[in-house]
Amino acid sequence: MDAFYASVELLRYPELKGLPVVIGGRRRHQPQTLPDGTRRFATLREYSGRGVITTATYAARAFGVNSAMGMMKAAQLCPQAVLLPADFDEYRRHSRAFKAAVAEVAPVIEDRGIDEIYIELTDLPGAQDAVGHDAFGGVRAIAQEIRNNVRRATGLSCSIGVTPNKLLAKIASELDKPDGLTLLTEADLPTRIWPLPVRRINGIGPKAGARLAALGIATIGDLAARPRQELIAHFGRSQGRWLHEAAHGQDERPVITHSEPVSVSRETTFERDLHAVADRAQLGAVFTELCQQLAADLQRKGYRSRTIGIKLRFDDFRTVTRDHTLAEATAEAATIRRTAGLCLKRVDLARRLRLLGVRAAGLVRA
């Protein structure tokens, strides 16, 4: 989906269409309805705190504002950007709607998160057919039908990459955003894929990217030009072989229609550091709310948890985690709160806190 959270908000506030908008504010940044019926929106210019941007409209991205960027930095780049609080219940509702719309056309789907899926098109009727002089006209028409169905069901646009495998589909889906349909074959690798930065390969993170840069490898084409054995010598047998295959667009992973989650978590970063004693009431309220939200997530997804844990980040950026395994799995807010409280007692809380989180692991079906 294209700038998913922001696009959902534009459905609610159509007067913001075409304007730079960022998602990630607190409840106090909720728009205010004025006596004349118009709305007053908060902007980054008025923001102070340590929050990060969840997502941004393409108009905001034009100013260099991106997801996971600190909002104070974003305010320097685009102070006029409208700031909206996240509404995850609404995003989940639209997520279910867009996936249902896709499934009406192509039912074999791998869920990759709230706004992203892989779709198996190979065996759909007409997918292998040519249309006129277009050898891929059949599958192109199916992809267009999916896009149309999503827009009818949700009012939102999506971008689709049609390729031989999942690795290339991930890259292709981002080439012509927003509202793009990109079809690539192996013959397109030299012109469309190899000129891209090597970090565009899903699975090459900052550390691997830095190691590749140290070897003079900046683009996917640079990576493809290196012999397999050279990459194995630098990165080990498994990763070196994978890097070589990925650079050549090779990926044998199937579309997986079902997988069990490993854990579920909720966390929040405070706008100012809080102390366990001086800010006990505020911390306690936030802690309880996180546990209640986590319990609701488990119940909605149909799971119970055997292991409850906490995550703390202090004002010196040190992160601490603690876990406690229960005799019986639970999805009850009171039990989660009590168990997380036991974990909290095992941590020295002398320093102020930046972040507080609660996690449920060891999941079993309810």
At position 200, the amino acid (one-letter code) is R
Instruction: Quickly list DSSP for 320-331.
Output: EEEEEEEEEEE-
90, 110, 116, 120: the active-site residue? 116
Q: Cis omega before residue 35 (within 30°)?
A: no
Torsions phi, psi for 317 (to 5 deg): 70, 10
Structure tokens at 223: 């990576």
Q: Which residues, 6+ apart, have CB-to-CB distance to 178 below 8 Å?
A: 2, 3, 58, 157, 159
Whether residue 116 lies in the annotated active site: yes
Torsion of CA 8, 197, 71, 173, to 10 degrees: 0
For residues 111 and 90, give the distance between their C-alpha atoms in angstroms, rounded to a whole number. Answer: 18
For residues 324 and 311, give the distance between their C-alpha atoms in angstroms, rounded to a whole number. Answer: 12
Among the listed residues 67, 257, 245, the one whose alpha carbon sits nearest the alpha carbon of residue 168: 245
CB 27 within 8 A of CB 85: yes
Instruction: Quickly list DSSP for 87-154.
Output: -HHHHHHHHHHHHHHHHHH---EEE-STT-EEE--TTSTTTT--BTTBTTHHHHHHHHHHHHHHHHHH
Among the listed residues 356, 360, 264, the one whose alpha carbon sits nearest the alpha carbon of residue 311: 356
CB 13 within 8 A of CB 31: yes
Among the listed residues 112, 8, 102, 117, the one whose alpha carbon sits nearest the alpha carbon of residue 54: 8
Tokens 């320093």 map to which residue?
351
Q: Is 236 exposed, middle or buried (0-12, 13-18, 19+ CB in 10 A)?
A: exposed
The residues that are catalytic are 116
